[in-house]
Amino acid sequence: MAAWVKGGATDADTAIEAAASLLAKARAPVIAGLSADVAAIRAAYDLAGRLGASVDTAGSVATYAELGSLSRVGALTTTPAEAVGRADVILVVGDAAWQAPLLKRLIDAKPTRGRTAGSDRVLLAVGANAAASLAWPAEGGLPEAVGVLRAYARGHLAGDALPGQIAARLADAQYGVLLYDAAELGEAGIEMLQGLAMDLSEATRCFTLASGDVGQDRAVVPVSAWLTGQAPRSGFGRRVPEHDPWRFDAARQVAAGEVDAVLWLGAVPVPRPDWLSAVPSIALVADGEAKDAEVVIAVGQPGRDHGGVLWNEQRAALTFWPASAPSDLPSAAAVMAALRERVGTHQAASRSEPAC
């Protein structure tokens, strides 16, 4: 197993011991990223309970934008597979959604199922000057632009302006899809977009679909609910899970100097945050690069080096992925379990030391 401590290559046992020592001494540790398979995510929560750590995810900005909207107005969503198979009209909201691999699939193929099978797919855009049948730059901001579209869809505004034309084309669709990036659109924008989809669905079928998810956040949300009854940003400092989206925002905690150790879990490759190097840290990563952390341990990537349950974007469900190229790299779950055991040993030794 490849491992590094302070940039120097070492063996697995030494790296795990160094990581356990760092975590055991920490008074306010964070386990972040959580981009891994379900077994590793569960092991991360187990370790957090042992440490009294808080947890946060790699894509929490987008996740909490969606959760905030969901808690107030609900959601009317579809899956990528259904969008590719049925959508005859796509509204792309913002710039970021244009970079999604899903959009290329939508552009390159016609619908194949239902009443829309074989029809030409119409592409609309708001918030970006893009190659679409109708494109509205919407310079006032995305949430406001979606609000204007909704006003036209509800009949509160009328006329032949671009937003009115886009709203009319969506109303004529047999299966419309509103494609967006949650981090870019934000909580207020998502709430307005869900309202637009619900308004349109009173007369036709229209659904929202988020693109550009980071890491395995959509796997973490249900796992966190199973284990704690709450969403991912939780803390175990009082030995019971407490949920607070502001208090347990890892980036905010590091910026405020509230954290003295971070364990970054990235078994499914995901960009590491800039703040990772600002605090003593451990990284369990599939790419095995000895950077941005004091202790780096290379772990297997689920679905490649070993089998694992991951979020299936096409089916919008948790799915087991067998190993496509089995290797000897350990799973992140196994390393987490070893860390938990070693941390327990350190804590027991600390409690047995005589008081001075």
pLDDT tens, position by position, 10-25 = 998 999 999 999 999 9
Contacts of 122 (CB under 8 A, 6+ apart): 88, 89, 90, 133, 169, 173
Q: Are strands 89-93 and 176-181 parallel, antiparallel or unpaired?
A: parallel
- Residue scoring higher pLDDT (246 or 352): 246
Give the chain's length: 356
pLDDT band at 128 (very low <50, low <70, confident <90, very high): confident
Mean pLDDT of the region 163-181:
96
What is the per-residue pLDDT across 236-278, written as a single tens digit (0 to 9) for each?
998 889 999 999 999 999 999 999 999 999 999 998 888 988 9
Query: What angle (nearest 5°) sits at the alpha carbon of residue 274, between those of residues 250 and 219?
Result: 50
Distance between CA atoms of residues 332 and 302, nearest Å = 9
Distance between CA atoms of residues 80 and 96, nearest Å = 17
Domain ranges of the chain: 3-59+215-352, 64-211
Q: How much is the pLDDT for 289?
A: 64
pTM of the model: 0.89
Mean pLDDT of the region 134-163:
92
User: In which order are the strands placed within the sheet that holds 122-126?
Assistant: 134-136, 122-126, 89-93, 176-181, 206-211
Percentage of residues in the chain having pLDDT higher than 90: 80
Q: How much is the pLDDT for 314?
A: 81
The H or E element containing residue 219 is: helix 217-228
Residue 56 phi/psi, 5° resolution? -150, 160
Residue 134 phi/psi, 5° resolution? -135, 125
Mean pLDDT of the region 305-333:
94
Mean pLDDT estimate for the chain: 92
Query: What angle (nearest 5°) sits at the alpha carbon of residue 212, between those of residues 207 and 216?
Result: 105
Q: How much is the pLDDT for 308?
A: 97
Distance between CA atoms of residues 27 and 45, nearest Å = 17
Q: How much is the pLDDT for 356?
A: 52
Instruction: Please check whether the two domains, 3-59+215-352 and 64-211, share a CATH topology.
Output: no
Site of tokens 């308004």: 199
* pLDDT over threshold 70, residue 93: yes
pLDDT band at 181 (very low <50, low <70, confident <90, very high): very high
Q: Which CATH class is domain 3-59+215-352?
A: alpha beta
Q: How much is the pLDDT for 287?
A: 77
Q: How much is the pLDDT for 290?
A: 52
CA-closest candidate to residue 230, choices 216, 242, 238:
242
CB 266 within 8 Å of CB 36: yes
Q: List the structure tokens of 329.
A: 């790299």
Distance between CA atoms of residues 253 and 247, nearest Å = 7
The H or E element containing residue 227 is: helix 217-228
Would you state the torsion angle of the CA atoms of residues 322, 326, 327, 332, taken in this order, to the nearest 10 degrees? 0
CB 210 within 8 Å of CB 100: no
Could you tell me the fold of the domain covering 64-211?
Dimethylsulfoxide Reductase; domain 2 (3.40.228)
DSSP 289-310: ---SSSEEEE-PPBTTTB-EEE
